[in-house]
């Protein structure tokens, strides 16, 4: 399975009552289908997944699989604290028509779980049992644990572990990971502020929250890299980075959803306890995205 190009890490569409909205989900996917995106990632951190029930996660998978255009690769976030539940979610994603599982390591019991041997055991046990090929998910901002390079390299030897999403933003470590991992292990950047640098460092593509609001711009960076128009790629990365940084470090998912609205996508309300951005925040987001609107 070859991973390359740009994948939006999809947001979850809620109606004003806080319920999942099928119509708005299909609306967004139908618009994104027209762009040269490689596929979609559902139920990651951008999708407010900790605030969803298992039934809601599976419902999202089915709606997106039904709405996605032919040829789009579908990746399901199946993160759970136990091997048992992670494998069960992976099976449900396979039944929904997904092609790969994005697996977050356990982190709730930090003292015990933040150890390389237990992380190795977890990911290998999931990969042994998963119906879908596995992508490791490294996001220390959430887990409090940054998977070591030697741990990733060891996991890359597993026949059902095909790559990883690295959202740490550490490009130097990403380069080390690419060099240390088994040939064919595909590393995807998860950092919108510097994914061009990650591509130059050996990343196969990027799974990006900011691609919900700026899909054309993100694809433009990828195409410029692919065709070796490096100056054009850097120009677009420079345009994207301030907006991406503002969302990533200050306004998070509620801010991203408002930015989506600016570009004609449905953002909608976040789920409580998240709150919509204030009037002041909206003004700052509008300024950051000025000139980047589709």
**Which residues form the catalytic set?**
165
The vertex-90 CA angle with 192 and 161, nearest 5°, equals 65
Cα torsion angle, 76, 174, 128, 133, sign = positive
To which H or E segment does residue 26 belong? helix 22-32
**Greatest extent of the chain over all pairs of C-alpha atoms, in Å:** 50
Calculate the CA 285 to chain-centre distance: 21
> Contact, 47 vs 59, CB < 8 A?
no
Cα-Cα-Cα-Cα torsion 287, 195, 90, 176, nearest 10 degrees, comes to: -150
Rg of the chain taking only CA atoms, in angstroms: 18
Task: Tell me the C-alpha distance between 256 and 100, whole Å.
Answer: 25
Residue with structure tokens 């759970």? Answer: 80
Strand positions, DSSP E, 148-227: 161-166, 186-189, 205-208
Q: Calculate the alpha carbon distances from 180 to 116, 183, 239, 268 in Å.
A: 16, 9, 32, 42
């Amino acid at each position: 399975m070859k991973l390359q190009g740009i994948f939006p890490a999809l947001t979850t569409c809620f109606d004003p009552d806080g319920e999942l909205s099928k119509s708005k989900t299909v609306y967004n996917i139908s618009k994104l289908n027209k762009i040269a995106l490689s596929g979609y990632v559902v139920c990651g951190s951008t999708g407010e997944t900790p605030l969803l029930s298992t039934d809601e996660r599976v419902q999202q998978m089915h709606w997106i699989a039904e709405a996605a255009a032919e040829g789009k690769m579908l990746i399901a976030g199946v993160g759970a604290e136990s091997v048992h539940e992670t494998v069960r979610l992976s099976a449900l994603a396979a039944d929904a028509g997904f092609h790969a599982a994005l697996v977050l390591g356990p982190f709730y019991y930090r003292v015990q779980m933040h150890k390389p041997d237990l992380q190795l055991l977890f990911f290998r046990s999931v990969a042994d049992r998963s119906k879908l090929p596995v992508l490791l998910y490294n996001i220390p901002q959430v887990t409090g644990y940054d998977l070591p390079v030697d741990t990733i390299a060891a996991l890359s030897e597993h026949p059902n572990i095909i790559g990883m999403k690295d959202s740490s933003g550490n490009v130097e470590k990403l380069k080390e990971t690419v060099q240390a991992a088994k040939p064919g292990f595909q590393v995807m950047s998860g950092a919108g502020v510097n994914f061009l640098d990650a591509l130059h460092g050996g990343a196969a593509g990027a799974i990006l929250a900011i691609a919900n609001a700026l899909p054309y711009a993100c694809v433009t960076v990828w195409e410029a890299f692919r065709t070796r128009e490096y100056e054009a790629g850097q120009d677009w990365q420079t345009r994207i980075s301030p907006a991406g940084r503002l969302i990533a470090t200050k306004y998070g998912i509620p801010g991203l959803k408002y930015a989506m609205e600016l570009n004609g996508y449905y953002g909608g309300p976040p789920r409580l306890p998240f709150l919509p951005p204030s009037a002041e925040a909206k003004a700052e987001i509008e300024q950051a995205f000025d000139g980047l609107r589709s």
